[in-house]
Amino acid sequence: MQSLKYTAQPELDISIVLPVYNEAGNLKIFIPEIVHVLQILGRPYEIIAIDDGSTDDSVATLRALKQQTSEMGSELQQCLRIVRFRRNFGQTAAFAAGFDLARGTYVITMDADGQNDPADIPAMLQLMEEGEYDIVSGWRHERKEPFLSRRLPSMLANRMIAKSTGVVLHDYGCSLKIYHWQVAKNVNLYGELHRFIPALASGIGIRVAEVPVNDRPRRYGKSKYNLSRSVRVLLDLLTVFFLLNYLARPMQLFGLAGLLSGGLGGALGLYLTLLKLFMGADIGTRPLLWLAVLLIIIGVQFLMMGLLGEMLVRTYYEVQDKPVYAVRAEE
């Protein structure tokens, strides 16, 4: 089944991308808040609500909002787009669908739980339009979540991500972000990499600004986040680190590991050989001999992984005719 994907030049000023998963209670309050702010701005906009396999009345609530007879309802008939997934694919997939379908020059992502404040959009948009930045990210500097279960793991994760990627943000987990359309259309998302979009986009030389934003308590429902996500963040961070630093040169990572492992194994083997030749030592039963053989085998395997990686990278770039550079502008 063919999926819809918008790839032409922007037709609107603003696209709001709103992943939705079991947020019926919040949507009926949150979407009118968004519309109120966008009406004040007076700019052409759209709201793309991506239903990620909700099991509550989220879709019915979205349809009811779109079919209202009020002034806001008639506007939402034109501006609210409801996209339904066949099942729950996750927030990253919802963001990816929103980016594909967005028709705005500026793509704004928000959580549907109402904790992001639409009143922060005008200031962020003003900073974005100064032209110095490709992404403006929200920073929930006064978060309302519990410290031990939410804020502390988030602080540690943010520091690890900043240290590993070189893109320093206080709050990677804040969904309230504004992307220039060229960034949104050129970042490929999969797995659970949505929180790493600024880091992934750094591969094409983006500039990021961070703005303190209001963090509001959740009105209805319960959070979908828990401590188990910290482990997934760590694993995703390893993926992002590889993509940013070694995607185009995997041999430099695997080859270095192979040389270190093989070199250490060779040195141990040489040491044992000298013991055998000059001291007559019995080395056949020494664990050190097996360690040397194992290190050499592992070293060869790493080198082969590096060679295979180089072949895959060339296939990736050449078959898809992907450039190895990104042009900001031509003057």
- pLDDT exceeding 90 applies to what percent of the chain? 42
Residue 72, classed as helix, strand or coil, is helix
Q: In this model, does residue 7 exceed pLDDT 60?
A: no
**pLDDT for the residue 206:** 82
Residue 56 lies in a domain: yes
The terminus-to-terminus CA distance of the chain in angstroms comes to: 41
Shared domain check, 95 and 194: yes
Rounded Cα distance between 268 and 299, Å, is: 13
The pLDDT tens digits of the residues spanning 306-328 come to 999 888 888 877 776 666 555 66
Residue 193's alpha-carbon distances to 112, 190, 197, in angstroms, are 18, 6, 7
Q: Which domain holds residue 163?
A: 12-246
- pTM of full prediction above 0.85: no
Q: In this model, does residue 28 exceed pLDDT 70?
A: yes
Q: In this model, does residue 296 exceed pLDDT 60?
A: yes
Shared domain check, 284 and 258: yes
**pLDDT for the residue 3:** 45
Residue 27 lies in a domain: yes
Q: In this model, does residue 219 exceed pLDDT 80?
A: yes
- For residues 233 and 156, the answer to whether their CB atoms sit within 8 Å is no
Q: In this model, does residue 305 exceed pLDDT 90?
A: yes
Q: In this model, does residue 299 exceed pLDDT 90?
A: yes
Residue 212, C-beta contacts closer than 8 angstroms, at least 6 positions apart: 138, 139, 141
Q: Please give the mean pLDDT across all residues of the chain.
A: 84
Shared domain check, 230 and 286: no
- The predicted model gives 132-142 an average pLDDT of 88
The pLDDT tens digits of the residues spanning 264-292 come to 999 999 999 998 888 888 887 888 999 99
Altogether, the residues listed in the chain come to a count of 331
* Confidence bin at 228 (pLDDT 50/70/90): low
DSSP character for 48? E
How is residue 204 written in tokens? Answer: 């094409």
Shared domain check, 289 and 141: no
Shared domain check, 47 and 110: yes
Helix (H) or strand (E) holding 40: helix 24-41
CATH code of the domain containing 25: 3.90.550.10
- The predicted model gives 150-176 an average pLDDT of 79
**pLDDT for the residue 16:** 96
